[in-house]
Structure 1
Amino acid sequence: MSIVFTLAPYHVLGFSLLYGTTTFHSYISSPIAFKVLPRKEFGVLQKHIFPGYFLAQSVGPILIGLTAPYTLATAGIASLVVSSLGGLVNYAYLLPKTQGIKEQRLALNEDEAAEPSAEMKKLTSQFGKFHGLSLLFNLVSFLGLTVYGFQLTKGLLKTIPK
Structure 2
Amino acid sequence: MATYHALVVLASACMLIFLGTTTEATSTTHPYASFIHLASVGAWFGISFWVTFVAGVLLFKYLPRHQFGSVQGKIFPYYFALSLVLTSLALASWVHLEGGLDLLAAIKSGNEDGKVVACLGGAALLSALQLLVLGPCVTKAMEARNKKEKEEGFADTTSKVGRSPELLQLGAEFARMHGLSSTANLLVFLGALFQLYVLSAKHVTFATMAPTVAKATFWPWS
Please give the TM-score of this superposition, normalised by the length of structure 1.
0.85
Q: How many residues align?
A: 158
What whole-Å deviation, never above 9, does each CA across 1:126-149 have from its counterpart, x for those lacking one?
A: 111111111111111111111111
Post-superposition CA distance 1:27-85 (Å, at most 9, x none): 11101111111011101110111001112222321111223373172222111012112
Matches of 2:203 and 2:84, distance apart in 1: 23
Q: Hey, what's the Cα distance between the residues in 2 that align with 1:125 and 1:88?
A: 24
Q: 1:115 aligns with which of 152, 156, 162?
A: 162
SS of equivalent residue, structure 1 residue 64: helix
**Which of the residues 63, 66, 73 maps onto 1:47?**
73
Give the equivalent residue in structure 2 for 1:7.
Answer: 33
| Between 124-133 and 141-150, the greater mean CA deviation after superposition | 141-150
When Rg is computed on C-alpha atoms for both structures, the one with the higher figure is 2
Listed as ranges, the matches of 1:17-36 within 5 Å are: 17-36=43-62
Instruction: After the TM superposition, list the runs of 4 or more consecutive aligned residues in structure 1 that deviate by more than 3 angstroms.
Output: none
Q: Could you tell me how far apart the structure 1 residues matched to 2:193 and 2:127 are?
A: 14
Q: Which ranges of structure 2 fall in alignment gaps of 5 or more residues?
A: 1-30, 102-112, 215-222
Distance 2:175 2:74 in 1: 20
CA contact 1:51–1:91 (8 Å) conserved in 2: yes
Render the CA deviation track for 1:87-142: whole Å, top value 9, x for unaligned.
Answer: 22222221111111122223323211683221111000111111111111111111
The one-letter code sitting in structure 1 at the alignment partner of 2:189 is F
1:140 is matched with 187
1:15-94 correspondence to structure 2 within 5 Å: 15-68=41-94, 70-71=97-98, 73-94=113-134
Q: Residue 129 of structure 1 is aligned with which of 176, 181, 185?
A: 176
Percent sequence identity is: 27
Q: Distance in 2 between matches of 1:118 and 1:155?
A: 57
Measured on the aligned residues, the alpha-carbon RMSD in Å equals 2.4
Q: Which amino acid aligns with 1:111?
A: G
Quote the Cα distance in structure 2 between the aligned partners of 1:74 and 1:150: 15
Contact 1:70-1:155 at 8 Å conserved across structures: no
Deviates more, 1:137-146 or 1:85-94: 85-94
For residues 12 and 124 of structure 1, the distance between their equivalents in structure 2, rounded to whole angstroms, comes to: 41
Q: Distance in 1 between matches of 2:138 and 2:63?
A: 19
Mapped partners of 2:144, 2:55: distance in 1: 26
Are residues 1:159 and 2:170 paired? no
Larger helix share, 1 or 2: 1
TM-score if structure 2 supplies the norm length? 0.64
Q: Give ranges in structure 1 of 5+ residues lacking alignment.
A: none
Alpha-carbon distance between aligned partners in 1 of 2:185 and 2:203, rounded to the nearest angstrom: 25
Paired with 1:110 and 1:59, the residues of 2 have a C-alpha distance of 41
